[in-house]
């Protein structure tokens, strides 16, 4: 058991190193090859246990920064922070447990490593990641496809999103294991070369086209510490900080402030917002998008982005963070949270259908923080949206690896939709990302700064923008069906 713990822990550590900020992009591929190897050489029960341990360590290591928001920022006891991280890791590990059991069982049933490694295992892994991205409101963190956001394999994202990239990585891992095991090595090597060649070929396709007009943008990074953000002694300083950021942005088309840049309800700072409108006119700034909390007609609270200037819109966050922005718990637990002076109030969910703000005649698809880790969330705005805007506040997680992980996932949204991504964060990574996922400009995190740059609105749509995750679901289902059909035929022929 100790060997299993060490092996699964080391595999998880190597797997996490494949994601930002470490960027050892080949590491997850080799980890997956080893996981496949384990499944083919052990019983389904033993494999399920090993995969569960891998998943538990993977999330415990990859999400260790949650203790900052739970313990340091929110003030929860250390034991509670450790318990919550453990519970989350344990629940997420169940997906890996099931994957390991099914892959091992498939091999025990069909007795064909080539069949399992080229069809069944990659499809099972991909469907598991996809399921994790939707189940329990979704948690796609550490999805293997994200590790390739800076490589040529990301070329598959405009076709089938991050989950198609996951499938391609899984397929390469299967081929690599076949080559090392000397099972049809030439055929397997040919398969890898076909994938690499196809990836570079697809990468040259420009799915979307930029319009002729270029726009200027300024992304403001406030760098306001979370523990100071809501202090009354910091309120005026914060308002002044952001207001003054407009004074040197004359003739800028679009200015973006981060999530909840103004620590107040919009209804309580109407005079300040009117003052901003005046500054926009004086500075000839077309549009200002800023994060702030708003109240509904019935007193409900929204995490919002309001637009000032030439277009006045309000966007309410639609995909909320469980146990962060809302608490799906019984009343007695909520009462306990209140007694412990821990966060316990629910933010309301915005409507699924919301109007997009416009810069001139071009539409802006807005997302707030956590929303940009879900590719399907942005599909509601496509193909009408011409540019993506994300506002984020990673101050909850301090100076940890969370900001780099989050930004890596954000970049995939630009690739999937073929749109520029304009990302303004409080303490995370503020950047302009081009439609191919490359970073045009970015700021050093954790310091106040303003990023000035340019972008082009994009038109047309990618296959992923049109079909979303349906294409991958259909493809994986067909591959699984084909794999099972071939396996059953093999069994029948052996029994004849």
Q: Which residues are catalytic?
A: 259, 317, 369
**What is the CB neighbour count within 10 angstroms for residue 466?**
12
H/E stretch holding 387 reads strand 385-392
Residue 409: both structure tokens together: 């996932």
Cα–Cα distance, 75 to 68 (Å, whole number): 9
Whether 130 and 475 have beta carbons less than 8 Å apart is answered as no
Cα–Cα distance, 451 to 449 (Å, whole number): 7
Cα–Cα distance, 262 to 290 (Å, whole number): 8
Cα separations in angstroms, 372 against 7, 23, 103, 246, 337: 33, 20, 31, 26, 29
**What is the CB neighbour count within 10 angstroms for residue 496?**
5
Cα separations in angstroms, 71 against 79, 85, 370: 9, 11, 20
Whether 457 and 213 have beta carbons less than 8 Å apart is answered as yes
Cα–Cα distance, 63 to 52 (Å, whole number): 16
- Scored b (16 or more CB within 10 A) or e, 427-457 reads bbbbbbbbbbbebeebbebbeeebbebebbb
Cα–Cα distance, 224 to 239 (Å, whole number): 11
Cα–Cα distance, 307 to 389 (Å, whole number): 12
Whether 16 and 58 have beta carbons less than 8 Å apart is answered as yes
């Amino acid at each position: 058991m100790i060997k299993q713990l060490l092996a699964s822990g080391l595999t998880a550590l190597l797997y996490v190193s494949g994601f930002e900020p470490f960027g050892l992009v080949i590491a997850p591929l080799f980890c997956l090859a080893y996981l496949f190897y384990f499944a083919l050489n052990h019983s389904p029960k033993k494999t399920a246990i090993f995969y569960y341990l891998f998943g538990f360590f993977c999330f415990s290591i990859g999400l260790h920064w949650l203790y900052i928001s739970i313990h340091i920022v929110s003030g929860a006891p250390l034991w509670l922070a450790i318990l919550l991280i453990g519970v989350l890791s344990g629940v997420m590990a169940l997906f890996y447990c099931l994957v390991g059991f099914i892959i091992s069982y498939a091999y025990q049933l069909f007795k064909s490593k080539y069949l399992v490694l080229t069809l069944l295992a990659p499809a099972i892994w991909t469907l598991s990641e996809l399921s994790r991205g939707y189940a329990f409101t979704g948690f796609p963190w550490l999805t293997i496809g994200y590790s390739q956001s800076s490589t040529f394999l990301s070329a598959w994202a405009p076709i089938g999103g991050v989950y198609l990239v996951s499938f391609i990585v899984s397929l390469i891992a299967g081929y690599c294991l076949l080559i090392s095991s000397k099972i049809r090595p030439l055929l397997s090597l040919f398969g890898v070369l076909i994938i690499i060649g196809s990836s570079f070929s697809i990468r040259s396709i420009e799915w979307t086209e930029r319009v002729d007009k270029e726009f200027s943008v300024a992304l403001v990074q406030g760098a306001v510490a979370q523990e100071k953000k809501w202090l009354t002694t910091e309120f005026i300083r914060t308002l002044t900080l952001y207001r003054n950021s407009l004074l040197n942005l004359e003739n800028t088309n679009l200015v973006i402030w981060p999530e909840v840049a103004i620590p107040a309800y919009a209804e309580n700072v109407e005079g300040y917002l009117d003052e901003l409108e005046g500054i926009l006119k004086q500075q000839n700034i077309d549009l200002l998008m800023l994060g702030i909390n708003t109240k509904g007609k019935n007193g409900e609270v929204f995490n919002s982005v309001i637009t000032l200037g030439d277009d006045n819109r309000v966007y309410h966050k639609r995909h909320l963070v469980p146990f962060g922005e809302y608490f799906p718990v019984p009343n007695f637990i909520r009462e306990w949270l209140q007694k412990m002076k821990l966060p316990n109030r629910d933010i309301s969910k915005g409507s699924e259908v919301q109007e997009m703000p416009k810069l001139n005649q071009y539409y802006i698809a807005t997302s707030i923080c956590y929303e940009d880790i879900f590719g399907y969330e942005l599909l509601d705005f496509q193909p009408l949206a011409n540019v993506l805007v994300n506002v984020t506040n990673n101050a909850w997680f301090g100076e940890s690896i969370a900001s780099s992980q989050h930004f890596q996932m954000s970049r995939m949204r630009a690739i999937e939709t073929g749109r520029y991504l304009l990302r303004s964060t409080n303490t995370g990574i503020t950047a302009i990302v081009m439609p191919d996922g490359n970073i045009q400009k970015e700021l050093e995190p954790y310091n106040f700064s303003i990023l000035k740059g340019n972008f082009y609105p994009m038109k047309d749509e990618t296959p992923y923008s049109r079909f979303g995750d349906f294409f991958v679901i259909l493809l994986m289902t067909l591959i699984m069906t084909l794999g099972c059909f071939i396996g059953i035929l093999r069994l029948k022929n052996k029994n004849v």
